[in-house]
């Protein structure tokens, strides 16, 4: 099961790239939920991996709480910070989402902000996105060939999506094990643990809590080296495995909303695809490279985003010069040449890639 998200307009590429690398290559604050240790029959890591691949949940709904403390500069609400109802803000602070799933053709996610809400809805070939702050709606009709396929995501919005991204890292560079049990959203769960073998990675471990009955991820936690609490956590605080009714997927735009009809063949879609980030390397020390805002251009009134990035420390080397953000879990480099590099690695690894 992969709950849809249509690609939102990303307003801050730095944290988006951070989450992409941390979860696909695969911290301080309080955990979202307290653990208890239920008594469950023992299962090996290999058995749990098979369970994840063969689980057959046909429907669920629930509340997801996501918290990210990646050591990034704090964003104002207008750029997706704490309390924002914009999906680009999922990489900082704590956010609450409601999710409904009734198969690959009926999926819905609602991000609940302090003063608004954003919705992503798929009902068959119809995909709707809506933001209450702008009261703008986008409608996309999927081609028939894509009718059975879930939409790609920019950010993980459910434990399943986060787990899928983390599990994609399993290979020779990863140690897979188990570590007891937990209680998540009132349900007993096994704990699957992924650890990088590469000492150059800043990630210590990724912990996936798997529902002991339904065998789907209930929570994912990402820890930095030497950390005792997660830097990134996404998990259910409440969940039901009953299939939600059709009324949850019958989206009707508000009468006063601005509605845009989109098409997969639009020039804008092709342009977005051509500007997609690339990943240099593999495993836990992979580095994501994408276009960065031009921070060298002189403007009388720089945007909030430009101001935040320009407040980072300056750095230079044989690769050139730019701005550097360094935290326990991630490193981010914005070069004067207009590249953004990010990974769960040391700055030296970013400098190496920048000089390629």
Candidates 51, 3, 20, 5; CA nearest to 209 is: 51
Top CATH class, 276-354 = alpha beta
SS3 60: strand
Q: Do domains 13-262 and 276-354 have the same CATH topology?
A: no
214-273 confidence digits (pLDDT tens): 999 999 999 999 888 898 888 999 999 999 999 999 999 999 989 999 876 554 444 444
* The predicted structure's pLDDT at residue 185: 95
Domain boundaries, the chain: 13-262, 276-354
Amino acid 56: pLDDT: 83
Q: Which residue has the tokens 């921070």?
A: 295
pLDDT band with cut points at 50, 70 and 90 for residue 320: very high
Supply the angle between the helices 13-24 and 159-167 in degrees, to the nearest 10. Answer: 60
Mean pLDDT over the full length of the chain: 77
pLDDT digits (tens, 9 = 90+) for 273-296: 445 678 898 888 889 898 886 666
pLDDT tens profile 177-211 = 999 899 999 999 999 999 988 888 899 999 999 99
Q: Is the pLDDT of residue 301 over 60?
A: no
* Residue 65: φ, ψ to 5°: -110, 130
Residue 153 token pair:
């995501």
In this predicted structure, the answer to whether residue 158 has a pLDDT above a threshold of 50 is yes
Work out the burial of residue 57: count CB atoms within 10 Å of its CB; fewer than 13 is exposed, 13-18 middle, 19 or more buried: middle
Token pair listed for 193:
């643990």
Question: Which pLDDT score, from 0 to 100, does residue 85 have?
Answer: 42
Strand partners, 187: 184
The tally of CA atoms less than 13 A away on the side-chain side of residue 225 is 16
Does residue 124 surpass a pLDDT of 70? yes
pLDDT at 107 over 80: yes
Average pLDDT over every residue of 134-153: 71
Is pLDDT above 50 for 302?
A: yes
Phi and psi torsions of 96, nearest 5°: -120, 135
* C-beta of residue 96 within 8 angstroms of C-beta of residue 158: no
Which one of 1-5, 155-159, 228-232 scores highest in mean pLDDT? Answer: 228-232
CB distance 89 to 99 below 8 Å: no
Give the per-residue pLDDT at 182. 93
What does the pLDDT read at residue 9?
28
pLDDT tens string 74-105: 554 444 444 444 555 555 678 888 999 998 88
How high is the pLDDT of residue 93? 72
State the number of CA atoms in the 13 A half-sphere of 266 facing the CB.
12
pLDDT of the residue at 229: 87
Domain 13-262 belongs to what topology? Answer: outer membrane lipoprotein receptor (LolB), chain A (2.50.20)
pLDDT above 90 covers a percentage of the chain that reads 32
Instruction: For residues 351 and 349, give the distance between their C-alpha atoms in angstroms, rounded to a whole number.
Output: 5
């Amino acid at each position: 099961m992969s709950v849809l998200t249509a690609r939102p307009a990303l307003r801050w590429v730095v944290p988006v790239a951070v989450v992409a690398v941390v979860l696909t290559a695969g911290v301080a604050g309080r955990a979202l939920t307290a653990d208890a240790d239920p008594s469950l029959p023992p299962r090996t890591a290999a058995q749990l991996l098979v369970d994840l691949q063969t689980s057959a949940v046909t429907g669920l709904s629930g509340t997801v709480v996501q918290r990210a403390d990646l050591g990034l500069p704090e964003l104002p609400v207008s750029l997706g910070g704490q309390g924002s109802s914009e999906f680009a803000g999922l990489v900082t602070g704590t956010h609450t989402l409601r999710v409904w799933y009734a198969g690959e053709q009926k999926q819905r996610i609602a991000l609940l902000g302090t003063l608004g809400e954003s919705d992503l809805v798929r009902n068959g070939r119809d995909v709707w996105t809506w933001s209450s702050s702008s009261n703008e709606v986008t409608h996309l009709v999927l081609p028939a060939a894509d009718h059975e396929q879930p939409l790609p995501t920019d950010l993980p919005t459910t434990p399943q999506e986060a787990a899928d991204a983390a599990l994609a890292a399993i290979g020779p560079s990863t140690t897979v094990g188990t570590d007891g049990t937990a209680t998540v959203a009132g349900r007993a769960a096994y704990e699957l643990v992924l650890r990088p073998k590469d000492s150059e990675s800043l990630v210590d471990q990724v912990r996936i809590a798997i529902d002991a009955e339904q065998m789907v991820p209930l929570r994912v936690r990402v820890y930095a080296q030497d950390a005792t609490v997660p830097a990134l956590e996404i998990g259910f605080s409440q969940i039901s495995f009953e299939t939600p009714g059709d009324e949850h997927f019958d989206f009707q735009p508000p009468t006063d909303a601005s509605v845009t009809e989109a098409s997969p063949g639009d020039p804008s879609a092709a342009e977005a695809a051509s500007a997609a980030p690339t990943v240099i390397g593999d495993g836990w020390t992979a580095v994501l490279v994408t276009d960065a805002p031009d921070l060298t251009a002189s403007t009388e009134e720089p945007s909030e985003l430009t101001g935040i990035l320009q407040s980072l420390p300056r750095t230079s080397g044989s690769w050139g010069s730019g701005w550097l953000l360094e935290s326990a879990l991630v490193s981010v480099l914005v070069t004067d040449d207009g590249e953004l590099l990010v990974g769960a690695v040391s700055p030296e690894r970013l400098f190496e890639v920048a000089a390629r």
